[in-house]
Amino acid sequence: MNIRDIKKISIIGPSGTGKSTLAIKLGEILSLPVHHIDCYFWKEGWVEEDKEVLRKKIEEITNEEKWVIDGTYRVTLENRFEKSDLIIYLNFPIDFCIESIRKRQKAGKSDRVGLPMYLEETEHGMDVLAAWIEGYAKKTVEPHINPLIAKYPDKVVELKNRKEVEKFLKMC
């Protein structure tokens, strides 16, 4: 499939891989609307949206003609993978991801795309996020992502570092 023919893209991977940045770049290159699931999931004060409300919202978006959606919220994966033309799996080393979120937090709010403006990443929040990243493979990849990827192998592009992402973008 020609990359220019792709109209529906899901981007998944742990925090710190650059999912939102990649989504924005692909949206610009391919003239696709971009949706960051973090913006639908997180309410003011880091309050989580009800998972069923989130699932329904993302399902509405995936019923549209074209989109790029970034985020790995499990409740949205089955629907998104089924409807995606392309699934980009950013499978970066965990140590890289943790270092990336720490750098992002130190850089301040202006360096963070894909997050509602009313939220601020704190050092405590980064500790919680780092712990989540450390458990990502066991809690998310093995039981949820790997079985879905096995169902849609022709749709999946796995990128393992920033150089591979840049090379992929040059193909677009």
pTM: 0.88
Q: Residue 158 forms beta bridges with which residues?
A: 89
Kindly state the average pLDDT of the residues 18-43.
94
Express each pLDDT in 31-52 by its tens digit. 999 999 999 988 887 788 999 9
∠ CA(46), CA(48), CA(54), 5° rounding? 135
Residue tagged 């980064």 (tokens): 126
Tell me: pLDDT of 111 over 60: no
**CB neighbours (10 Å) of residue 31?**
10
pLDDT reported for residue 117 = 60
pLDDT reported for residue 110 = 45
For residue 144, what pLDDT band results from cuts at 50, 70 and 90? confident
